[in-house]
Structure 1
């Protein structure tokens, strides 16, 4: 059938698809990896006011963030009683803490006396109790009122009624999630296909954080993550990758209200790349050791996957032979509404999070984590400290990031402040999205609208 005869949303880049490339490897892969679930969700413009308007941002603050599950930390961050992490999103602040009874709780970070925050934004560590720095009211690690200075002056304070208010807490994949809505649906329902797709060979609970970088971005939280929901930008933003990275033929899937995915391949040239290449020439342009040879009958893709199995296997002291070339090489990204991106593959095992900073619709905190797999029987090591970057700092300043990867993230985030200024100066008052390659962006906005309409 000619492309012109297709219905909206059915058009695809000519040539081999992501699924074609993965199946051509001739290997067994997880069924989820070659499952396709495209969705045409319309083609109307997305208004720029959704990113810049304080009134729209206020609706999100009131109707979205208190109503959704969002990950706040890893379980290994709070292994021992008294360990805590403070999580901040917009005006909300919570203390996620393990009590002496080993249970994880999420307390609203506000003293019940005169409202002072009990812990500083972004703070983490250990404490035997939660003590207000203003007047010294104190709670246990389980949230029970412990002591009140001049207790004689508060005969009207009932200890049972003055426990710290809590948000709902649950865990999945080694992540701790909170939801401020006491009537929220269970986390396992909210996750939809995520456990089914990831809990087998991609069990995130058996990984540990190797690198954690936080960067402040001068853009809206939605625009920040949308830059990572499509590969359409690769042709211009990451043109250096075109000789060995599929982009226009990437696969996009929508699995439910909260979950979408893309998969795009590495080790094969972009459909945009105009120059014929040998497999050796493709390999020479990838991030492989100088002198890497592609034997007769092999592909750059298979050689690169083998090199990563050996190299990463030695680095982590793991046998990676059970992973397919696709799992070793390709960019596989699941998005969990509203702000989490998970890459369950082996060589780029990343997790992203995007959240508004304070009450400014044009400021976002971008968390970037790299998770390495644990060996059989290995316990989680001590958590790594996050490295905080300002909006004008380069990712190359973050320890643990390879230079080529830091440069790639700089390319991504350097676009964002410029785009946000364009939102405000544009005479055309909305963005026009591709029906397929940018379908996940439209999905994000449609799910957001459903929450705002409740």
Structure 2
């Protein structure tokens, strides 16, 4: 059978790329991969088309604002953004504007970013800072850091205002992995329920609370927020979009897992050729194409093992941390979890990204993409303020950001070019929906099924 010929005798979703899978490659590495990395959980979820109206329709977008974003747990900031009492930050998404504040008691609270007098935002969109109280810039009404009404100018004219009636309403807040989550729905399930089993996987040496932000990029993407994140939920596009990586990146043989309605994952290997790669490379040639510096693969060794060892040494020395517990896969591979609705987390070491995709304003065709790199730090490292996000316009390159690896920036630029073309195609196509693969794009289908469930609720 030809490599790309479909296997019609298998039930839907059972076909896999011929040859070693990502998990086969990881299991053949030196021992040490955590059990979570080799866990498997896939199920066939259907094969109907996904309508383009889900991306382009203002009516769908409006319903998402109330039935999704108004009810979903969503990552708002990192705890290091609010290290001291009085620190505050504004989280914006579409019509939502939420003010997060660390109170004098050390507790992080979230309030709608609006004065209870005449609705003026207490803090500007996308801003952060420190304060001893919360004060409206219009008429000077004031609240404590805990949201209690503190002062009303000309209080004699407001006998109908009481401390109880005009305390700032609080939204649900949850903390996990160093992240601060908010949920506007007072009846929302606990964050722990939403996260499961992500929290069980990302613990121990994958505990992201032990990492710190090294770089924060905010990029405008010219497409709907759903289409933007879906481009990062599969490796199927690598063969065409990132063909320069085929000599050293597994793609068609990546593993895909659906752990819950909210949590999915893919793992694709680095340091092994793609099943699509034409030709034969020695392990030494693979290593040289990985561009990690001069090194030699010993007889009987692998490029993956040599590259992982070199990165353990280089990054360990640069960060002042012991990376010896991390397996070759953790050092090299693209290990990406998705937490519904809009967060991607990479617990690996050399690809330590965090993604977030948000509607930008009220335009269904604009997305704000947060790209963070989290580095490991020594346990006794002093706490440092996180770097300010660097904004990149839709027509600018990721590589223009100081501290961004130019090669990696070029890869992200390729993805952005796809998104712009896809958005135009959504409107031009006479076929009114996208057709997904049963396995490689199963995470996208799981996302839409969960979204459907949220949008269908009263």
**TM-score class, shorter:** over 0.9
Pairwise CA RMSD of aligned residues?
1.1
- Give the corresponding residue for 1:181: 185
Aligned mates of 1:175, 1:380 — CA distance in 2: 16
Task: Report Cα offsets for 1:370-415 as digits up to 9, x if no partner.
Answer: 0011212223311111101111111011111111111111111121
Select which of 117, 140, 144 maps to 2:144. Answer: 140
Aligned mates of 2:434, 2:369 — CA distance in 1: 22
Select which of 211, 216, 219 maps to 2:220. Answer: 216
Deviation at 1:28, TM superposition (A): 2.1
2:428 equivalent to 1:425: yes
Aligned mates of 2:285, 2:291 — CA distance in 1: 12
Aligned mates of 1:136, 1:390 — CA distance in 2: 35
Select which of 228, 247, 250 maps to 1:246. Answer: 250
- Give the corresponding residue for 2:366: 363
Deviation at 1:166, TM superposition (A): 1.3
CA contact (8 A) 2:320 2:377 kept: no
SS in 2 for 1:72: strand
CA contact (8 A) 2:30 2:327 kept: no
CA contact (8 A) 1:167 1:182 kept: yes
2:356 equivalent to 1:381: no
Aligned mates of 2:291, 2:81 — CA distance in 1: 33
Aligned mates of 2:135, 2:116 — CA distance in 1: 11
Deviation at 1:319, TM superposition (A): 1.3
- Structure 2 gaps of 5+ residues are none
SS in 2 for 1:185: coil
Select which of 156, 160, 167 maps to 1:163. Answer: 167
- Give the corresponding residue for 2:395: 392
Deviation at 1:279, TM superposition (A): 0.6
Within 5 Å, which residues of 2 pair with 1:404-419?
Answer: 404-419=407-422
- Give the corresponding residue for 1:336: 339
- Give the corresponding residue for 1:26: 30
- Give the corresponding residue for 2:135: 131
2:304 equivalent to 1:301: yes
Select which of 421, 437, 441 maps to 1:438. Answer: 441
Provide TM-score, normalisation by structure 2.
0.97
2:374 equivalent to 1:353: no
Aligned mates of 1:124, 1:237 — CA distance in 2: 37
- Give the corresponding residue for 2:120: 116
Aligned mates of 2:185, 2:235 — CA distance in 1: 34
2:241 equivalent to 1:237: yes
CA contact (8 A) 1:374 1:380 kept: no
Deviation at 1:348, TM superposition (A): 0.6
Select which of 61, 64, 77 maps to 1:57. Answer: 61
2:40 equivalent to 1:36: yes
Task: Report Cα offsets for 1:42-100 as digits up to 9, x if no partner.
Answer: 00000000000001111111100010100111111101011011000110000011011
Aligned mates of 2:416, 2:110 — CA distance in 1: 31
SS in 2 for 1:161: coil
CA contact (8 A) 1:169 1:179 kept: yes
SS in 2 for 1:396: helix
Task: Report Cα offsets for 1:147-200 as digits up to 9, x if no partner.
Answer: 111111111111221011111001000000000011110001110111111112
Aligned mates of 1:287, 1:342 — CA distance in 2: 25
SS in 1 for 2:204: coil
Task: Report Cα offsets for 1:7-33 as digits up to 9, x if no partner.
Answer: 000010000001100011131211111
Task: Report Cα offsets for 1:218-270 as digits up to 9, x if no partner.
Answer: 11000000000000000011111000000000000000110000000000000
Aligned residues: 453
Aligned mates of 2:291, 2:398 — CA distance in 1: 18
Provide TM-score, normalisation by structure 1.
0.98
Within 5 Å, which residues of 2 pair with 1:58-77?
Answer: 58-77=62-81
- Give the corresponding residue for 1:323: 326
Aligned mates of 2:51, 2:382 — CA distance in 1: 48
Aligned mates of 1:36, 1:200 — CA distance in 2: 20
- Structure 1 gaps of 5+ residues are none
